Structure 1
Amino acid sequence: MIFDYETLKLAWWILIGVLLIGFAITDGFDMGACALLPLVAKTDDERRVVINTMAPHWDGNQVWFITAGGALFAAWPLVYAAAFSGLYWAMMLVLFALFMRPVGFDYRSKMDDPRWRNAWDWALVVGGAVPALVFGIAFGNLLQGVPFQYDELLRPSYHGSFFSLLNPFALLCGIISLTMLALHGATWIQMRTQDKVEERARSLAKRLAVLLVATFAIAGIWLAWSIEGYMIISLPEKGGAANPLLKEAIKASGAWLHNYAVQPATLIAPILAFVGAIAAGIFSHVRYTGLSFISSATAVTGVILTAGFSMFPFVMPSSLIPSHSLTLWDAASSAGTLMVMTWAAIIFVPIILGYTFWCYRAMWQKIGVRFIKENPHSLY
């Protein structure tokens, strides 16, 4: 075996983080642009402009989401089982909201009736805004701990409800997620469109950048002063069989900041979030649209890394019995499974990246109302 078991566990924590960041950067601007559709596009032609900036890429972008879900199932089966059973209704809400985008893209142009098209446009808004909001709410609940526990046979039981997920801190995290992806969508729209649509997107990007900085700062202060984090007191051998019941963990005030004190280099994550958001607003103001998009992608990366570094090595903390929390050390698959997945990732992730970049390069151009009118039958 090339890698030992402990290294494989850490590698797959990193790889799943990469997949989540890839999903947030690529499919994130789709969700953000859909959520902003009625704000940046006032006429049917303008809405078609925005839709056609996403239409060639949205299904390819969702490959990151599918890959991340598959990797979660294969690398951390205990997390997959506990999350998808306990958070069933939240997952179903995201799933049905995601259905809205493909049918919205495909069906809105089937008829010229304005009522028909407006209905599908609002379906696209729901398909963009709801998943962005719920993803943030999910991370907010992870940071507070999820009410689950295991019995002696390692069967998880969830003791919360759907509405208990909608607590104040989680809702703030949902607003951060929605704002973050809306900012990313606004920078995408201004980079790919012209005229009035571009101007509206620029104006929104500047406002969303300010809102993201403010809400992210408030969440950080709230997390530091009012929310207990989790700490591991003792672990069995890291190379042994994965069993979350063999460790000892506790809740402690300020524990989510412990990693930043021990490893100051991790402070790069919140710095990237703040600097990326501020730069996105500044570059939008001075009309450097490409740099604005790169900056918003940097902010997205920083926000996700901040959550990951804060929780490390926890993946799904338990608010009922802290020692039943799932970490990357005790929720992982077998060494053989992780090794096979590692080789698959080494081979296929570069192929996916290469194909994605080729698609964007081949279909890259700015789109305006004039272009839409000149190509009435070849576009959505």
Structure 2
Amino acid sequence: MVGNVCFVSPAFADSDSTANAFQPSEEVKATLLPLFTAIADADVSRTKVELSVETVMHGEIVSNEKSTFQIASKFPGKYTIYHKSEEERKRLYSDGETSTVAMSPEAYYVLPEALNNQTLVTRTPIGLGPYPEPMLALSVAGVDPSVTFFGGMLSVSIVGQTQFRGRVDSIHLHGEQDDGVVWDLWMTDEKQPRPLRLLVNLTPMLIATGQVRVPQGYELSLRYDFVSWRMSGEVDDRLFRFIAPKDATKYESLADYQKQTAVRLGSHPLLGKAAPDYTLTLLDGTEISSDDLKGKTVVLDFWATWCTPCIQAMPIIKAAVDEFNDQDVVFYAVNVAENASLVNGFAGEQDWGVDVAVDPKGTMIETFSAGKIPLTLVIAPSGIVEAVHVGYPGKEALKKQFQDELDVLTQGGRIATSQPQKAD
């Protein structure tokens, strides 16, 4: 299953232990066997994959977040994965003995144990965007793609032969998982096929799990385009060795990295300074200026429909603010650069009870340096930005942070993290 671990024996074997598991048809087996066997038998691989995270409303793409994967691997336990987006440059290395995560050129940590290629695919140790497993299963040498593509399935069918992008003979397959995820795979129609595109539709899963209330016409999908792909040739072992830059910081773990960088991320350029002038445009067209909010404690939360941590954090922040609603504390959820009709439809389906502001041109992103979300600013009645929250630390941690901060501010105090540091 994409996103879960559900092991199936290689080559689609029909054993007693898998008698009750999903079994693909003979036609599907015959179609996918050449591709899956080429990957499982490969000693090396080199691939480049472009990912587009698309938000669609009534057939129109209203948001498209792009990133790129560059992957090199050697069976059984050597690989380097480079995930590049506008916001981050993340690498995962393994030389067969040590697996290292470079969160940035300046920060890295070593995993407790080296992960082999198959474990990498089925138990990815770091975030590489949403649902990376199926892409990795088609990109890493020596893994069994059937583990990912046939585990936990309801159905896999052949849609038919087609011309991919109007010029490449291809075969289109369609899969439906038992968790609601739907995927479509296009691969070349030739003796030794290669993957062309993997489209993963997460909308049915969102509906089934109730994570969000999905408005009519809304769709969230991932499009993986395989720009280059090979399971042969030579790969230099130097690609798999991590050499720490001179000034890089080594952390003990991901948790240690997140804890220590949270302090640095909290040093937002506006922290401890007067908030800039701004005007909020609510979904009903009402405009509220920063002058209108003078004397109040203002919580501004920047979010987007495609940002899962934002959706998780929203009701927690709202609940914390509600405890102080008789003490002039107000909360506005500012959508980041998405189509107003999408935001209106999406927010209208949620049970948030939150005043939502729209910023389709991204003006407030620049004003408040909201390059990374979730981003929440707490502005004191004095107009000073007293606290900044970046990311989602978890329900209990986030709730306590807001309760403590709002308790201090509503009593006329200041939050220590916003006060200028004294020189030694």
TM-score range, shorter chain: under 0.3
TM-score, normalised by the number of residues in structure 2: 0.23
Structure showing greater relative contact order (alpha-carbon pairs closer than 8 Å, 6 or more residues apart): 1
Structure ranking higher in helix proportion: 1
Q: Which protein shows a greater Rg?
A: 2
